[in-house]
Amino acid sequence: MSGSADRAATRVVVVPGGPLLVEGPVEVVLPDGTVRFCDRPVVALCACRRSRRYPFCDTSHRRRARPERASEPVVGQAEPVVGQG
């Protein structure tokens, strides 16, 4: 692109499991040619395709089931029996 040395690079922050945070304002061109504009200082762009406000994040990505942690007991799993016998 010409003129890219004349201005600072736009910063995009990738949130793991979440949106892309882009310094605004932004214009987003969708595949059908529709242009969506947002003038916020930081714009969250949906990367999961679940947003009802696509291309903008509406936090729908948070509804995903969380992976189980090793320290949490598994439902239906018997607790270990200690000191009996």
CB 1 within 8 A of CB 15: no
Q: Least distance to ligand FES from the beta carbon of 1, Å? A: 27
Tell me how many residues contact ligand FES (CB under 6 A). Answer: 12
Token readout for 2 is 């010409």
Residues 20-39 that bind ligand FES (CB under 6 A): none
Residues 51-80 that bind ligand FES (CB under 6 A): 51, 57-61
Give me the residue label for tokens 């304002």: 25
Query: Distance between CA 31 and CA 84 in Å, rounded?
Result: 66
Asked whether position 48 contacts ligand FES by CB under 6 A, the answer is: yes
